[in-house]
């Protein structure tokens, strides 16, 4: 991409962003959540940073009513060591046991799974790549006393299911959303109550997994522009510390820092932010097409992490 091509593309990004957001960035929704505030480790800079991120995500889940439903099942996507899941477990009232399904492609030595043994909640960990996961085959999407094959003929209520992740890396977000919506599309009385995914690593998304390619067409982006969106989205991360990202896929997060553009750091970071949000809004609109209310929120200040935006969706 030449400098002239970049200038033309940057104007296209800015025009699309203005069309989508009407001059406003996503809603700032930085929350506290009292049930887990006691877990803060003041002696660890890393711990303080990630504690605040998780607490705000949980606060937003509570705000949307996703933590108050009795006997819920929570699916952790790209669950990693299970830190987010452990916080979620501690946030629930002891008298309201829940079920947890933690999905990750790796087995992690320092996982927090052991803490679930001392609660009324149950936990299952699936070692599986998200690209291979068929959500419709998970028992949590069916009545616990009936086989999945009988589900269409049985209208008994099922537990509400909430999917969540913090920094779900690259195409893992798209694969997760497509898998969840595939289940929703084939199950009119589905029990997927909500989704909370803090996205990241937009430079790793791929056109063949992006859930709503026609959305980009409608914004005037050509086939070549998808690759350009990927490239400039990494500029949001310029000059920042490495973040912890959750993959669930057979690839690493590699942050690309480009300097050939002629733009200063602030300009590159802003263009990268806009590119990320354009990609994320395609995911929001995809969820809306499947009957969910959905939006983007800035769940934490960018000084905590430049990957500070989450996709939230809930059943109306």
Structural domain includes residue 214: no
SS (H, E, C) the chain: CCHHHHHHHHHHHHHHHHHHHCCCCCEECCCCCHHHHHHCCCCCHHHHHHHHHHHHHHHHHHHCCCCCCCCCEEEEECCCCCHHHHHHHHHCCCCCCCEEEEEECCCCCCCCHHHHHHCCCEEEEEECCHHHCCHHHCHHHCCCCCCHHHHHHCCCCCCCEEEEEEEEECCHHHHHHHHHHHHHHCCCCCCEEEEEEEEECHHHCCCCCCCCHHHHHHCCCCHHHHHHHHHHHHHHHCCCCCCCCECCCCCCCCCCCCCCCCCCHHHHHHHHHHHHHHHHHHHHHHHHHCCCEEEEEECCCCCCCCCCEEEEEECC
Full residue range of the structural domain in which residue 296 is found: 24-205+245-251+279-314
Structural domain includes residue 127: yes
Position 258 scores a pLDDT of 45
Per-residue pLDDT of the chain (316 residues; tens, 9 = 90+): 777 888 899 999 999 999 999 989 999 999 999 888 888 766 566 678 899 999 999 999 999 999 988 789 999 999 998 999 999 998 886 557 899 999 999 877 667 888 888 787 889 999 999 999 999 999 888 754 344 444 444 544 478 999 999 999 889 999 999 999 999 999 988 999 999 999 999 999 999 999 999 999 999 998 899 999 999 999 998 644 444 445 444 434 434 444 567 788 899 999 999 999 999 999 999 999 999 999 999 999 999 999 999 999 999 9
Position 95 scores a pLDDT of 59
Structural domain includes residue 17: no
Structural domain includes residue 217: no
Q: What is the CATH number of the domain that holds 72?
A: 3.40.50.150
Position 159 scores a pLDDT of 86
Structural domain includes residue 13: no
Structural domain includes residue 142: yes
Position 110 scores a pLDDT of 63
Position 113 scores a pLDDT of 84
Structural domain includes residue 76: yes
Position 37 scores a pLDDT of 81
* Number of domains making up the chain: 1
Structural domain includes residue 31: yes
């Amino acid at each position: 991409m030449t400098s002239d091509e970049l200038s033309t593309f940057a104007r296209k990004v800015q025009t699309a962003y203005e069309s989508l957001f009407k001059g406003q960035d996503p809603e700032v929704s930085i929350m506290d959540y009292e049930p887990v505030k006691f877990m803060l480790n003041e002696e660890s800079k890393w711990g303080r940073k990630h504690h605040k991120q998780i607490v705000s995500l949980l606060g937003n889940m509570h705000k949307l009513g996703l933590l108050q439903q009795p006997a819920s099942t929570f699916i952790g996507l790209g669950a990693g060591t299970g830190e987010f899941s452990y916080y979620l477990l501690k946030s629930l009232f002891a008298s309201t046991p829940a079920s947890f399904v933690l999905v990750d492609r790796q087995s992690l030595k320092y996982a927090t799974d052991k803490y679930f043994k001392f609660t009324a909640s149950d936990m299952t960990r699936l070692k599986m790549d998200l690209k291979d996961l068929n959500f419709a085959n998970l028992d949590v999407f069916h009545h616990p006393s009936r086989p999945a094959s009988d589900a269409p003929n049985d209208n008994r209520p099922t537990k509400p299911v909430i999917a969540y992740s913090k920094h779900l890396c690259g195409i893992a977000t798209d694969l997760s959303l497509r898998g969840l919506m595939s289940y929703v599309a084939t199950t009119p009385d589905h029990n997927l109550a909500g989704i909370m995914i803090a996205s990241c690593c937009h430079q790793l998304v791929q056109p063949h997994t992006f859930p709503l390619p026609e959305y980009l067409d409608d914004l005037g982006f050509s086939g070549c522009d998808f690759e350009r969106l990927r490239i400039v989205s990494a500029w949001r991360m310029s000059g920042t510390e490495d973040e912890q990202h959750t993959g669930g896929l057979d690839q690493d997060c590699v942050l690309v820092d480009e300097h050939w553009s002629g733009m200063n750091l602030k300009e590159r970071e802003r263009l990268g932010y806009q590119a990320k949000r354009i990609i994320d809004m395609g995911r929001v609109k995809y969820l809306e097409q499947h009957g969910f209310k959905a939006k983007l929120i800035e769940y934490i200040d960018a000084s905590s992490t430049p990957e500070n935006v989450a996709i939230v969706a809930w059943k109306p």
